[in-house]
Amino acid sequence: MGLIPLILVSAALLELPAVDVTDLNGQKLSGQLQKLTPSELVLSSAGKEKVLPLTEVLDVRFVNQLPAPEKNAKLIQVSLIDTSEIACSSLLTAGPNTEVKSISFGDLNLSAKSISHIRFSATDKKLDLLWKQLTQREIRQDLVVVRKGDVLDFLEGVVGDVSENEIKFLLDGDELPVPRDRVFGVIYFRQRTESSRKPICEIRGAGSDVLNVSQLAFNGQQVQARLVSGNQVAVPVNKLSGIDFSLGKISYLSDLEPRDVKYTPFFNDVWEYRRDRNLDGDPLRVGKQTYSRGL
């Protein structure tokens, strides 16, 4: 009977996720993630525990995880007011709540007020630029954006519930149900307020998704996080590719704005640089190694 607890403990340790941790000195440590609190990270390696203050942790990479999901033109791209990005297969909004099925993070319940904009349709380079311009402009009402050929047009009003088939839209005081399959995207009017929550890290999914986090903890199976936007989420650890703690500690080249950019055409084609993605929009990769940051 005395051996049973030891066997259970060993089995539990085997289930802990394998990670590679990089500290501020560039030293890499490998082992199993045993504990993660708001103040420290505990790594188990060769039967020993290594305790690292979070202030000294730069990056956590999960190894042997699920492969990144394949590209899907039907995915819905959700952007939160805290700059979190979530690709999902479905989205429903009813009153103050929005339910999404995230490709990287599973089912999430979000506050509708925390959503900045939603893109329902597939896009290309030209539409990417037009969409970005629309999301960055100053608005006083919600926008329902529709595609007309290579141009994006919009109606101003108030966006209500979003179902599988339609979007409730208040236009000049009249409710106008808009078929969802005719909508390119929705941009919400959000008053800009200074959040009291400060980001401590970014949680990265198996794809290109990212969550901007103000608090987090690990209970052995899930990473429980509070987003800067105020949403509480619980993400299965096998869905994660990494946790970036570099915020405020170092600056990545891809986060900096260049003073000048000059392109040299190659066979009359101009290849514009991309931040943290390759020219096809896929993760950066050299050989078998994938990198989340770079140009």
Q: pLDDT, tens digit, for every residue of 146-155?
A: 999 889 999 9
Give me the chain's average pLDDT, please: 85
Q: How far apart are CA 77 and CA 145, in angstroms?
A: 14
Higher pLDDT, 258 or 97: 97
Q: How far apart are CA 170 and CA 177, in angstroms?
A: 8
User: pLDDT tens digit string along 188-210?
Assistant: 999 876 667 788 999 998 667 89
Question: What average pLDDT score do residues 47-61 get?
Answer: 91
Do 223 and 36 meet the contact criterion of CB atoms below 8 Å apart? yes
Non-local CB neighbours of 132 within 8 Å, separated by 6+ positions: none
- Predicted confidence at residue 157, as pLDDT, reads 96
Query: What does pTM read for this prediction?
Result: 0.79
Report, in this order, helix, strand and coil percent for the chain, each rounded to 5.
15, 45, 40
- Predicted confidence at residue 65, as pLDDT, reads 64
Burial 118-142 (b: 16+ CB within 10 A, else e): bbbbebeeebeebbeebbeeeeeeb
DSSP 81: T
For the chain, the domains span: 4-62, 65-235, 262-295
Higher pLDDT, 63 or 123: 63
- Predicted confidence at residue 3, as pLDDT, reads 38
Residue 12 has pLDDT above 60, yes or no: no
Residue 6 has pLDDT above 60, yes or no: no
Grade residue 1 by pLDDT with cuts at 50, 70 and 90: very low
User: pLDDT tens digit string along 269-289?
Assistant: 777 777 888 877 777 888 877
Do 271 and 279 meet the contact criterion of CB atoms below 8 Å apart? yes
Question: What average pLDDT score do residues 92-104 get?
Answer: 94
Q: For the purposes of burial, counting CB atoms within 10 Å of the CB of 101, is it exposed (0-12), middle (13-18) or buried (19 or more)?
A: middle
Residue 90 phi, psi (nearest 5): -150, 155
One-letter amino acid for residue 48 of the chain: K
Grade residue 57 by pLDDT with cuts at 50, 70 and 90: very high
Domain 4-62 fold: SH3 type barrels. (2.30.30)
Higher pLDDT, 132 or 1: 132
- Predicted confidence at residue 71, as pLDDT, reads 60
Non-local CB neighbours of 136 within 8 Å, separated by 6+ positions: none
Question: What average pLDDT score do residues 153-169 get?
Answer: 95
Q: How far apart are CA 248 and CA 281, in angstroms?
A: 26
